[in-house]
Amino acid sequence: MKVIESFLEKAWGDSVDNPKIEDIEVAIKETQEMDDEHGAFWVGVFGEDDKEIVLEVSKYLTQTLILDPENSNPETFNEKRSRAENWEEILQNFKLLLNGEIDEILSRITK
């Protein structure tokens, strides 16, 4: 997938348009120190066909890949979830996301 545009949203309200990996590293550090209610953030990417894909993580290393967040139909909603081994794994998945390597993220999350 060719990434045209991206965003980073933090559960406590901050956001960054077209984040760099350094922005994600800051979000990870902030999330680790955040309370339970606000201990999450997500990055979304848009491809050429306007398709959106989102990777969300919590302070407890839960990662959720949402393949079509605008789809509200429970029969076709596509979400994959797992718990990462460590923050480095999370960071690597965000790098893959920003590079549009969605199949690689899927294989890592569904292993």
Q: 């848009």: which residue's tokens? A: 46
Domain boundaries, the chain: 3-109
pLDDT in tens, 14-30: 999 999 999 999 999 99
pLDDT at 105 over 90: yes
Best CA proximity match to 26, nearest among 97, 15, 65, 56: 15
CA angle 87, 78, 107 (to 5 degrees): 45
pLDDT at 72 over 70: no
The helices-and-strands tally (H runs, E runs) of the chain is: 3, 6
pLDDT in tens, 28-68: 999 999 988 889 999 999 998 888 999 999 999 999 999 87
- pLDDT grade for 77, boundaries at 50, 70 and 90: low
Percent of the chain at pLDDT exceeding 90: 76
